[in-house]
């Protein structure tokens, strides 16, 4: 009985199945047809395009994995879902580290509270020397709000240090990494946000340090907290600066005193 079709033709069989077939009789690997070679190029080009899209949104894509994908395409395995592969790359490498959103929100909140603190300090500096009832009430109002803000900032800074430590462990980043080091591991959008928050915090703490140095009787003690925070922003992002509980009048549990320029 005569058998028709391509069952005994390795090249034809390969064209039908998309797999390289070995002719057992001759023990040789049948060459790819021109159409199949073109199919490999097209598949590789399609995936390369998807990889480029993934790279555009996540520049830190693991290059080793990208090369593995290319080799898989070149191997002749035609049934590859380019979209699925690219989606996997983007999911794996565009995902931000755990707790990142909370860290960014924490820094944003710290910036806002520091800005409020700066405004109270500026108002305090503008006060004239007076012992009238109204003047004393104004000073007490400023003092009360300063201590309230300092207490909130102390809690925020303690939480920030904890978040940074969690991120460095999860991402295998050195424990003494700076916020800039951590931002290098993020997608472009979140990297920009974190660096922007860092710069804004540096700016407002610099203003507070400058103002405090001019108005405080004991500038060295008063500035320690802000110097510690400034150091954290520039260098070791995971250090707990204990920013606002290190010296007498900065202790959030202290009773507000009617003393102008106390910070």
- State percent of the chain over pLDDT 90: 2
At 156-171, the pLDDT tens digits run: 888 888 888 888 887 7
pLDDT above 70 as % of the chain = 38
Rounded Cα–Cα distance for residues 178 and 25 (Å): 65
Span 72-95, average pLDDT: 54
pLDDT the model gives residue 20 = 46
Helix or strand or coil: residue 23? Answer: strand
111 exposure class (CB count in 10 Å sphere: 0-12, 13-18, 19+): buried
Burial of 255 (0-12, 13-18, 19+ CB in 10 A): exposed
Residue 115 pLDDT exceeds 80: yes
pTM: 0.53
Percentages (nearest 5) of helix, strand, coil residues in the chain: 65, 0, 30
CATH of domain 100-250: 1.20.58
- Mind spelling out the 3-state secondary structure of 128-170? CCCCCHHHHHHHHHHHHHHHHHHHHHHHHHHHHHHHHHHHHHH
- List CB contacts of 232: < 8 A, sequence separation 6 or more: 239, 241
Cα(177)–Cα(165) distance, integer angstroms: 9
Q: Is the pLDDT of residue 153 over 80?
A: yes
The phi and psi torsions of 3 (rounded to 5 degrees) equal -95, 125
- pLDDT(2) > 50: no
pLDDT, greater one: 29 or 201: 201
Confidence tier at 146 by pLDDT (50, 70, 90): confident
pLDDT tens for each residue of 229-260: 666 666 555 555 544 544 334 443 333 333 33
Residue predicted with more confidence, 207 or 170 = 207
Please report the pLDDT score of residue 39 as a whole number. 67
- Mean pLDDT, residues 174-189: 73
Least reliable range by pLDDT among 5-14, 61-70, 119-128, 200-209: 5-14
Q: What is the mean pLDDT of the chain?
A: 65
pLDDT of 112 reads 93
Bigger pLDDT: 48 vs 141: 141
Q: What angle do CA 229, 235, 236 make, to 5 degrees?
A: 80
| pLDDT value at 40 more than 70 | no
> Where do the domains of the chain lie?
32-94, 100-250
Asked whether 249 and 257 are in contact (CB, 8 A), the reply is yes
């Amino acid at each position: 009985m005569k058998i028709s079709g391509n069952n005994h033709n390795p090249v034809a069989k390969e064209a039908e199945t998309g797999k390289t077939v070995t002719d057992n009789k001759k023990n040789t690997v049948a060459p790819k047809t021109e159409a199949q070679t073109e199919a490999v190029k097209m598949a590789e080009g399609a995936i390369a395009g998807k990889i480029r899209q993934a790279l555009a949104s996540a520049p830190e894509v693991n290059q080793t994995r990208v090369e593995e994908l290319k080799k898989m395409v070149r191997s002749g395995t035609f049934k590859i879902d380019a979209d699925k592969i690219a989606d996997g790359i983007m999911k794996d490498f565009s995902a931000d580290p755990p707790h990142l959103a909370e860290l960014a929100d924490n820094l944003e909140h710290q910036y806002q509270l520091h800005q409020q603190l700066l405004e109270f300090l500026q108002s305090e500096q503008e006060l004239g020397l007076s012992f009238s009832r109204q003047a004393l009430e104004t000073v007490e109002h400023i003092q009360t709000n300063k201590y309230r803000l300092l207490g909130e900032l102390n809690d925020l800074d303690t939480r920030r240090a904890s978040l940074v430590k969690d991120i460095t462990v999860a991402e295998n980043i050195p424990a003494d990494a700076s916020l800039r080091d951590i931002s290098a591991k993020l997608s472009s959008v979140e990297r920009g946000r974190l660096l922007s928050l860092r710069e804004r915090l540096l700016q407002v703490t610099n203003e507070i340090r400058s103002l405090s140095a001019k108005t405080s009787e004991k500038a060295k003690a008063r500035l320690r907290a802000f110097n510690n925070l400034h150091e954290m922003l520039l260098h070791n992002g995971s250090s707990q600066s204990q920013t606002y509980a290190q010296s007498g009048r900065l202790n959030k549990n202290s009773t507000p005193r009617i003393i102008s320029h106390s910070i």
